[in-house]
Amino acid sequence: MLTKGYAETSLTDLANSAQMSVSHLLYYYPSKEAAVLDLTDQINDRIWTDVTAYRDEPPEERIHVLVDNVFVHGAVDKSEFGIVRELIALSTHRPELKAKLSAYNSKMTGYLEDLFSKVPRQPGLSAMDAAEIAGALWMGLVTNADYDQRLNYSRARRLFRRSLLLLANLDKGHAPTDKGEEPAPRKTRSQKAKSSA
C-alpha cells in the first residue's frame, strides 16, 4: 500500500508481502478493508503509545516530545504519511474506518487538552481551543511538508514547536535564531533504553 496505494493494492499483493498464500491471508483478514482497519489500529496505537509515554513529564517537555515524535523519530515513518493521508480520505465513505479515526482523534485531542490545561496559555484561549489548533497544525504541517517546496520537515518541525510553545504561552527564551536553528531532538524512552544497554 505504501508503494501502490490502497486502490491499486490487491489481496495478492498483500499476501505476497506477508509471504503467505491468499487463502492463508484470508484466514486473518476476510477482505482488504479488514486489513486496512487493522493497519489503522496499528498506526494509531504506535503514535498514541509514543506520544503519551511522557504524559507525566512537565508540559514543556511534553511539547518537545510531541514535536520530535511527529517530525523526527516518531511512530510513523515519513514514508508512511502517505498511507495515513489515504486512510483519512478512505474514511469519507467507510463508516467503520471513520469511526476508528474519530475515536483516535478524540483521544489525541483529549491528550492535547490535558497538556494545555497545565500551562498558562495565551490570554482568552481555552485548553480545548488550544488542543484543536495544535491538532490542526499537526496535520496541516505534516501534509504541507510533502507539497510545499519551501516547507521541509526541519522547517515544519521548527514551526510546530514554536506554535505549540506560543499557544501554551511558554515561548519565553525559545525564539529561534536567525538561522532557524532549534534544539537537538530528544531521544524517546525506547531509544534511551537501547543506548544504555
Q: 100 and 13 in one domain?
A: no
Q: What domain count does the chain have?
A: 2
pLDDT in tens, 105-146: 999 999 999 999 999 999 999 999 999 999 999 989 988 888
- pLDDT of 47 reads 86
DSSP 95-127: HHHHHHHHHHHHHHHHHHHHHHHTS--STT--H
Grid cell locating 161:
514547536
Q: 63 and 14 in one domain?
A: no
Is 195 part of any domain?
no
Whether the model clears a pTM of 0.85, i.e. scores above it, the answer is: no
Domain that holds residue 149: 32-190
Q: 56 and 23 in one domain?
A: no
Yes or no: say if 79 and 18 are a contact pair by the CB < 8 Å rule.
no
Is 197 part of any domain?
no
- pLDDT of 185 reads 56
- pLDDT of 183 reads 58
Q: 172 and 102 in one domain?
A: yes
User: Alpha helices, DSSP H only, in the chain?
Assistant: 11-17, 22-28, 32-52, 59-68, 81-90, 95-117, 127-147, 153-167, 189-196
pLDDT at 39 over 50: yes
Q: 144 and 60 in one domain?
A: yes
Q: 82 and 63 in one domain?
A: yes
Q: 171 and 88 in one domain?
A: yes
Is 66 part of any domain?
yes
Q: 155 and 141 in one domain?
A: yes
Q: 89 and 110 in one domain?
A: yes
Is 101 part of any domain?
yes
- pLDDT of 74 reads 62
Q: 182 and 88 in one domain?
A: yes
For the domain that residue 51 is a member of, what is the CATH number?
A: 1.10.357.10
